[in-house]
Amino acid sequence: MAVRDIKPFETILLDRPAIIGPFDDTNPECLECYSKVSVSGYKCTKCNLPLCGPQCEDGPTHAPECRVLQAADPPISVEDQDSAHPVYAAVAPIRMIHIMRTNPDIWEQVDRLMDHLEDRRKETKWSFVRDDVLPLISERCGLKCEPDMIERIIGIFRTNSVKWEDKSKGLCNPIGHALCPLFSMMCHSCVNNTRNTQTMGGEMIVRAAKHIKKGEEITTQYRGPNAGNILRRPDFPTNWLFSCDCPRCNDPTELGTMASTMRCPACQDPCLLPASSDIDSVWRCTSCQREEAQEHVIQVVQGLEMQLDAFPYSASPEAWEDLIKKYQEQLHDDHFLCMQAKRMLLQIYGAREGYKLDQLSRELLDRKIALCRNYIDIFSRLEPGYRVWKGRLLEELLGPLTITVNKDLEDQKIDKIQYILRYKEIVKMVKEAAQCRQFEERDTKDEMIGQFYQSWMKPLQNGSRD
């Protein structure tokens, strides 16, 4: 809960992982530096697990599990290169047990977190924990720790951990999942008001994405906004064992965006949506009152999603336009699948050879502008505030808007006052895009980013002075 008003971009929380552990289903990797390794390569001389080399054998990250696993009887041997070994699922709980015994302050923070253990023990997939992970730790390696405590640790980790990346190896390089105990205390809302970022220094920083008023709950987001509630909502009880009751989940229209709304097969109006906010509600057309079972709607949406996933990005813009039209025969124009296809298309216009900005007709320039504005309108309601995606969409808008405003002035379709008004709109977008980029990790490209925005400003500034 905010104890005072918080401005956008203010740092709310800075946290560091209590531990980082490999994914349960990871293929062989070095447990010190997380690089991929060969099972026929170097093995730790103590615990026999694959490592990069002797330089990683005595590292501090690998040390906790090495001390435990070297006692395994029989010794652990990872021999399959292309499948996961249960030992990797045992690493995170072993590391957390080490924290429990050596760092009571951090363990006190971790111990406050929910494990949902009673419900997790009922899950079919918990049999892997019971039949593979627990015996490996307690029986085969002889680690003295109550099985209930090991299960609780695994429950805490599954409920609260986040994907973690090695930023030193570039963007999108996931190495496992991390438990950040302070960050884990934050509550979820699909319409959240913060942005969390992993820093180059290995910390989790949480900053305000919008103005947060005193007394307002400070929230994070467990699942991204891109999919509609038809697919998003079941994830919460499945993965986090709670039902979300945020404003988006409680609204069948998803804040007026119609992100899951279908066309009615009877009257063809785009008015088929859940009849209530219940997660298993029947779907009803608000125009003709026809009803459809939720299971049927899910089946249709999943089929269309598979088609979209298989649709080649290399397809022509005309093919993408045809796909959108085809989808809009069954879905609301702003259905999340239509919006995903539109996002692809708006990126193609202006980037692909034959469709670069200086090659686009006025009709296609206006089409790109309309696609960008539509996307920003929909997702600004689903994810309000300053967002990375919004900065990128605003950048997509800068080019066609600049070209069309200058062309309209040149062709005398607008007068000087109209030009200045449109120029001010573009300047505002440039500034907002730059603000949205503040949520991205800073690096040596900062100077290039500044030059990027100056390149858009210069022709506009020159035009405004003519």
Mean pLDDT of 120-133: 95
Q: What does residue 329 show for φ and ψ, rounded to 5 degrees? A: -75, -20
Q: What does residue 19 show for φ and ψ, rounded to 5 degrees? A: -150, 160
β-pairing verdict for 219-220 and 187-188: parallel
Which amino acid is residue 366, in one-letter code?
Answer: D
* 257-296 per-position pLDDT tens digit: 999 999 999 999 999 999 999 999 999 999 999 999 999 9
Mean pLDDT of the chain: 92
The edge-to-edge listing of strands for the beta sheet with 19-21 is: 19-21, 174-179, 162-165
Q: Residue ranges of the domains in the chain?
A: 20-176, 224-323, 349-465
* 136-163 per-position pLDDT tens digit: 999 999 999 999 999 999 999 999 999 9
Q: 19: which DSSP letter?
A: E
Instruction: State yes or no: pLDDT of 116 exceeds 90.
Output: yes
Give the pLDDT of residue 293: 97
Mean pLDDT of 303-327: 97
Instruction: State yes or no: pLDDT of 356 exceeds 90.
Output: yes
Other beta carbons within 10 Å of 260 = 26
Token match 């490996």: residue? Answer: 136
* 90-101 per-position pLDDT tens digit: 999 999 999 999
Question: Minimal CA–CA distance to 97: which of 57, 141, 55?
Answer: 141
What percentage of the chain exceeds 90 in pLDDT? 89
Give the pLDDT of residue 200: 86
431: left (phi over 0), alpha (psi -120 to 50) or beta: alpha
Structure tokens at 256: 């007026």
Give the pLDDT of residue 24: 92
* 50-73 per-position pLDDT tens digit: 999 999 999 999 999 999 999 999
Task: Name 284's bridge partners.
Answer: 273, 291
pTM of the model: 0.88
Q: For residue 11, count CB atoms less than 10 angstroms from its CB and return exposed for 0-12, middle for 13-18, buried for 19 or more.
A: exposed
Give the pLDDT of residue 439: 80
The count of C-alpha atoms lying within 13 angstroms of the C-alpha of 13, restricted to the half-sphere facing its C-beta, is 23
CA distance 229 to 452: 37
CA distance 372 to 395: 10
Least confident of 256-265, 333-342, 419-428: 419-428
